[in-house]
Structure 1
Amino acid sequence: MVGRVSRLRRWLGRIGVRARGRVPRDRLRSTSPNDVERVRRQYQESEQRFRALLESLPKVAVQGYDRDRRVIYWNEASTTLYGYTADEASGRLLEDLIIPDEMREGMIEAHRAWVEEGKEIPAEEIELEHHSGERVPVFSHHVMLGEHTDSPLMFCVDVDLSDQKRAHRDLAFVTHFDTLTHLPNRNAFETELEGALESCLRRHAGLALIYLDVDRFSEINDALGYEQGDRLLVELARRLGQEQRLTDLISRVSTDEFVLAFPGVNQREDVHRLIGKVQQALRRPFAVANGERRISAALGVSLFPENGLSARELIRNADVAKNRAKLDGPGGLQFFQQHHHDELIREQRMVEQLERAIEHRELSLHYQPQVSVASGRIENLEALLRWQPRDSSAFVSPGEFIPLAERSGLIHRLGDWVMEEACRQQAAWRRAGFTESRVDINLSGRQMLRSDTLARFEACLARHGLTPRDVGIELTENVLIEAEPQVLEDLRRLYHRGVRIAIDDFGTGYSSLSYLKHFPVTALKVDRTFMRDAARQPEDRAIMEGAIFIGHRLGLEVVAEGVESAEQLDLIREMHCDLAQGYFFYHPMPAPDIQVLLSDTAGWSASPS
């Protein structure tokens, strides 16, 4: 833009001097009438070119002023920029039109110094005044024509910078603030928090930082739409800010996450009082389309200076505590403890090791038989995932790495591997002549969130030449209750094709037998916790009996998990339970050991190879 104005200045200078500069009288006296006429014609043509040039610049405001700074020219762009028509501006003083009061004297002096001393007015970005009184940012350049004559003329060439300034303001806002709630964003919050921490350090004061994550906010967006979700977030931001002191800080750091800082908090009871205020803001229902919605949030708390000396460290540790709180269910609250961070680092390393385990073939399937309570015959095999790192002689507990895989999303890769390996092994056993076995695999809730999980299961069966009766699936009751309609429809289709579908760990989730009639299941596996105490606890015995009775009335096969003694076997035999699974019969075994077992066990037939 500066280059454009410079070129304009040179162009105006060349044309303007011819147009506005006086023709010396001695030159006119020494020329013929024809020469005079030619000079006059050139003057008029130059004048026309000059005016045409000025009017052809719709985005550039040009004003002409005489020696006394009165308007002699005002193009249409000047009207657009400053709000005065050419008639309104004509003859008026420059300083009475567009010069702000604080610039008035300086402008008059600058104009005088140019006219009388030849000191040019430098081009610069300034703010001039609109007819309405508003300020107009412009890049202003000045051209003096005929400065060495008795009638010098000054032209101001002003380029409107409003769009650029607005863009800069918008960029500055976006850089520092959240566009939805108008709260400071994470970067701005960190900067403000560093300043607050320095102040606390000087005053030997504490600070509490709360990290808030709205529970299941994605479900709100899915159910009500993003517009209603945004309205809820704006209202939540308003509530959180309502009780703030001037020194308190708040930020929206991601879609449904907020961070609040409370300087000057030293006592634990004060921290709990602040937490109570935040929780109270969440408890009141939020107005949404066609009604109200109640929400909860996981809260993580870190304290200065105990849990960190920098803004970034405090935010990170509160985030760690928040993630721990989410494991406790909706509305969880956790204060940061160092072992949380240490455990997080350990889990991250384990996730990396687990990813490598898939590639390095450190995973295997062990199989635990299910036997008939009446005959002792092996009926089915449950495939159980095992992980033995290359550099260790011990297995990593599934109770440790399976939940971690679900939280990290790695469960999908593990689930695909289990599905493929179980089908491969079952196909191998089929080829070896073991025709009466069935292998069951577990599908987790996280896996079932993927709409194509059951389709991949069917494709895997077909790929290995297996029938729906060769491999079954086990799901927890919570997964079934929370499943999307399409998942239930797919399960019904598999059910009608003959796939065995069992509810695993029955009794530990929603534990409502009334749900069973709505689900396409063929078997119940009663959780081992009831089996463990059934012989001594009447309540657990009653649950076992009730589950077996209702299961049979619904036409379901019932499996007792965790059978570890003859006493427990006698008990479930009295209850007419169908199948038993547990250490009293068999531990989980690798595939080669299972094949030996199947070959030697009565009731299993192996065809001659």
Structure 2
Amino acid sequence: MESPGLQLLAESAENGQLLLIGGYNPYLLFLAWLVACTACVATLNLLDRAANAEKTAARTIWRWIAVACLTIGIWAMHSICILAFDSPLDARYGVVIALGSLLIALIIVQTLDNTTAWRPNSRLLHQLFKYALCMLAAGGLLSTHLLIGNTLAGNSDAGSNNWQPGLVLAVITLLLIGSCISATIVDKKLQLKEHDLRRVNALLSQLDQARASLQQVAHYDPLTNLINRRGFNQLFAEKLIDCATRNTRLAVMFLDIDHFKRINDSLGHDAGDELLKTIATRIKLATRSHDDVVARFGGDEFCILFSLSQRDEAQGMAQRIMLKLKEPIELSGRQMVMTTSIGISVYPDDGTTSAELLKHADLALYQSKGSGRNNLNFFSPSLKTRASLELQIEEELRNALNEDKGLSLHYQPIFDLKSGRVAKLEALIRWQHPEHGLLGPDRFISIAEANGLIARLDHWVLRKACHDLAALSRLGWQHLGIAVNCSALNLVRVELADEIENALRTSGVAAHRLELEVTENALMCNLSSTSQLLRQIRALGVSLSIDDFGTGYSSLAYLKRLPLNTLKIDRTFIQDIPASSQDMEIVQAIILMAHTLHLQVVTEGVETIQQFEFLNQFGCDFIQGYLLSRPVPFEALPEILQQLDKRPVPAPDHATFVLTNQ
């Protein structure tokens, strides 16, 4: 039967004729090429795994597997080609040819290994290149066999019976090669899972670091590196549970740096931050151990939590902290000495919950600040009663302002010593409380300042005073002026000048008849902005008076800078005259200084004829006090004014005062 495939001819040595030696079955040749191509694809995948292996040993193993896979493929290809070859000649493979095929496999593996390093940008292009290379390599291997096959002779009974062993050999080879490809796929997935696991571990590590950072940010103050309020509350709850279990005591200490705002205002916030760092360090040094918790609640407020057996231990620690903070601090080239106000509450005496203990320590701190600062106080039930009362007064004062009910003005005359008649009136607020009766400003002004009501209260007084002055003008007292007090907190409001102008316009009162009284401390809180606002008010024609002079800074510098008209001497300098010669000298000096600065002088608190005569003799311009009249409601004011205008203050027979500087 004639072979249907490739025919091989040989030249007869005897007569030069061509003889048919044999031929190749094209289907088995295609199967051989397919096996070679599959072997090349598997080899490329194995080399790719070798290239991506992280360990040197793994790379070596994958390369040797690639060599074995390609060798098996080459030998299987050769065997199938032999089965495909149909010839009557008797021949066999030689050892040299077998070893040569192994050498070819090594060379091809090295070539493919070098080729896999080239990766085009396009994944599709890379796959096309890969498969094209495999088909080309398989074709080369098949061609090599055919070329070598002309020198080989095989023993074949073959014919159609070669299909069965060829297919079996091909299937076995493809299964072996497929197992290699499967191994690469499985290994790649395992490696991807390992990479994913590493990435997850890396992300978890980053998450832990981020959580730690968030924990640091959430529970620690970035400036002082102390625990913040949130972290403190968490530790506080834990320590309360521990104290309840062990039946021990726990102290809560609130600290507030006295007049810290002045540092920020004068030296800047950077200097304030440096000061807070130093204070935090000193507080930590003054505590006893690592068990004591020091926290910064915000601003210049610190809180300390510590265990104790006796209440006296808390007082001892507070005193150590106060002494430590009084040590000089170098700040912006200056030596600063800081003081602190402290409030203390103790578990379980003053409360059993963190909120209750913190509230009570805060009340004690408020008491320390209210009693002159640089002080410490323990919580007591009376503080809670006072706080409750202040809360009640705050709510009722708010209602009184909203409903314009219960508030009124009393007026105290200010007597002109030169003209001998009342020149102006000081408006003083009163509150007819439904439960506590008539309250003076000392009972509710500080509460209004602490709770944001002072601006509304001052505005009410301003409008009411201008309205009453207009009513007095219609009764015949057109020459009278009126003095209205202004809170320190109200002096920082830019709306104040517009409110004054509106009150004057609405009431029809001339601006020169209104006088605004401010205290020394109010002026010095923020002198630059205060000075600008006072100039705006002065430009309206309103007079300006400095109240309680002598109890604050008493500085000539700000008296020169501010657009003042009047200086009011505080009652503390007049109450001991004539018994105190020192007070008499001080008052005389103040009057002389004020007149030198072209300021008029009002002395308040005049209660005796001797005081009246002393002030009249040494040139005081105005007096105010119980000698003339107590503050009276508006309804009683016309009668008082008529009496004062008709009855000059009598002088004693011995109205002679001698001052010496000896």
What TM-score, normalized by structure 2, do the two folds share?
0.64
Answer yes or no: is 1:257 the counterpart of 2:301: yes
Identify if the C-alpha distance between structure 1 residues 218 and 545 changes in structure 2 by more than 3 Å, giving closer, same or farther: closer
**Alpha carbons 1:146, 1:153 under 8 Å: kept:** no
1:171 partnered with 2:214: yes
Q: Is the 8 A contact 2:360 2:379 kept in 1?
A: yes
1:233 to 250, 264, 276: 276
Judge conservation of contact 2:221–2:228 (CA < 8 Å) in 1.
yes
Q: Aligned residue for 1:60?
A: none
Displacement after TM superposition at 1:415 (Å): 1.2
Q: Structure 2 vs 1, CA of residues 540 and 312 (structure 1 numbering), >3 Å: closer, same or farther?
A: same
Decide whether the 8 Å contact of 2:232 with 2:295 is kept in 1.
Answer: yes
Deviations 1:343-402 (A, max 9, x none): 11211221111111101112222222212335542211111112113x358212211111
Counterpart of 1:109? none
Q: What letter corresponds to residue 394 of structure 1 in structure 2?
A: G
Aligned residue identity for 1:398: P
* Rounded Cα–Cα distance in structure 1 between residues aligned with 2:524 and 2:268: 23
2:381 is aligned to 338
Match of 2:310 among 259, 262, 266: 266
State the alpha-carbon separation in 1 of the partners of residues 262 and 618 from structure 2: 43
* Alignment match, 1:587: 630
The 1:345–1:92 alpha-carbon spacing in structure 2 relative to 1, beyond 3 Å, is farther
Cα offset, 1:448, TM superposition: 1.7
Structure 2 matches for 1:337-376, cutoff 5 A? 337-361=380-404, 362-373=406-417, 376=420
Q: Tell whether 2:326 aligns with 1:283.
A: yes
Q: 1:71 to 1:171 in 2, by over 3 A?
A: farther
Q: Which residue is equivalent to 2:340?
A: 297
- Matches of 2:266 and 2:556, distance apart in 1: 28
Cα distance change on mapping 1:90 and 1:355 into 2, 3 Å:
farther
The question of whether the paired residues in 2 share the 8 Å contact of 1:377 and 1:602 is answered with yes
Question: Which residue does 2:135 correspond to in 1?
Answer: none
Kindly indicate whether the alpha-carbon contact (under 8 Å) linking 1:71 and 1:91 is maintained by their aligned counterparts in 2.
Answer: no
Q: Over residues 147-167 of structure 1, what are the superposed CA-to-partner deviations in whole Å (9 max), with x where a residue is unaligned?
A: 997777142331442554443
Aligned pair partner of 2:568 in 509, 522, 525: 525
2:355 maps to which residue?
Answer: 312
Partner AA of 1:373 in structure 2: L
- The C-alpha deviation readout for 1:179-221, integer Å capped at 9, x for no partner, is 3333222233233234334444555543333211223334433
How many residue pairs get aligned? The number is 490
More displaced 10-residue stretch of structure 1: 437-446 or 575-584: 575-584
Q: State the secondary structure of the residue aligned to 2:512.
A: coil
Deviations 1:48-86 (A, max 9, x none): 9xx9xxxxxxxxxxxxxx9xxx99378xxxxxxxxxxx4
**Partner SS state of residue 153, structure 1:** helix
Pair 1:328 & 2:366 matched: no
Q: Could you tell me which of 482, 486, 494 is aligned with 2:529?
A: 486
Q: How does 1:364-443 map to 2 (within 5 A)?
A: 364-373=408-417, 376-389=420-433, 391-392=434-435, 394-430=437-473, 434-443=477-486
Cα separation, partners in 2 of 1:462 and 1:166, compared to 1, 3 Å: farther
**Match runs of 1:87-166 below 5 Å:** 88-89=54-55, 92=58, 153-154=186-187, 155=189, 156-157=192-193, 158=196, 159-160=199-200, 161=203, 162-166=205-209
For residue 72 of structure 1, the aligned residue among 38, 45, 49 is: 49
Aligned to 2:365, the other structure's residue is in SS state helix
Normalising by the residue count of structure 1, what TM-score does the alignment of the two structures yield?
0.69
**Secondary structure in 2 matching 1:425:** helix
Question: Distance between the aligned counterparts of 2:218 and 2:180, measured in 1?
Answer: 47
Q: 1:578 aligns with which of 613, 621, 625?
A: 621
Contact kept? 1:373, 1:573, Cα under 8 Å: yes
Alignment match of 1:538 (pick from 567, 575, 581): 581
Secondary structure in 1 matching 2:542? coil
How many angstroms apart in 1 are the aligned matches of 2:522 and 2:299? 27
Unmatched tracts of structure 2, length 5 or more: 1-26, 60-177, 647-662
Pick the structure with more helix per residue. Answer: 2
Q: CA RMSD in A?
A: 4.0
Q: Which amino acid aligns with 1:423?
A: C
| Equivalent position amino acid for 2:465 in 1 | A
| SS of 1:584 mapped into structure 2 | coil
1:366–1:383 CA contact under 8 A, matched in 2: yes
Deviation at 1:520, TM superposition (A): 3.0
Deviation of 1:247 after TM superposition, in Å, equals: 1.9
Deviations, residues 88-143 of structure 1 (Å, cap 9, x unaligned)? 446549xxxxxxxxxxxxxxxxxxxxxxxxxxxxxxxxxxxxxxxxxxxxxxxxxx
Amino acid at match of 2:317: L
Gap change, CA 1:291 and 1:150, over 3 Å in 2: same
Instruction: Kindly provide the amino acid, as one letter, of the partner of residue 49 in structure 2.
Output: I
* SS of residue matched to 1:307: coil
1:196/1:88 Cα in 2 relative to 1: closer, same or farther (>3 Å)? same
- Name structure 1 gaps, 5 residues minimum: 1-29, 52-65, 75-85, 94-144, 604-609
CA contact (8 A) 1:72 1:90 kept: no
Q: Describe the SS at the equivalent of 1:388.
A: strand
CA distance in 2 between counterparts of 1:600 and 1:264 reads: 67
Q: CA deviation at 1:462?
A: 4.2
Q: Structure 1 residues 557 and 511 mapped into 2: Cα distance closer, same or farther (>3 Å)?
A: same
Residue deviations 1:525-571 (CA, integer Å, cap 9, x gap):
22233333314333333334443344344433222322334454344
Alignment partner, residue 289 of structure 2 = 245
Percent identity among equivalent residues? 32
Q: Bigger shift: 177-186 or 344-353? A: 177-186
Alignment partners' CA distance in 2, 1:47 and 1:336: 86
Tell me how far apart the structure 2 counterparts of residues 254 and 423 of structure 1 sit (CA, whole Å): 43
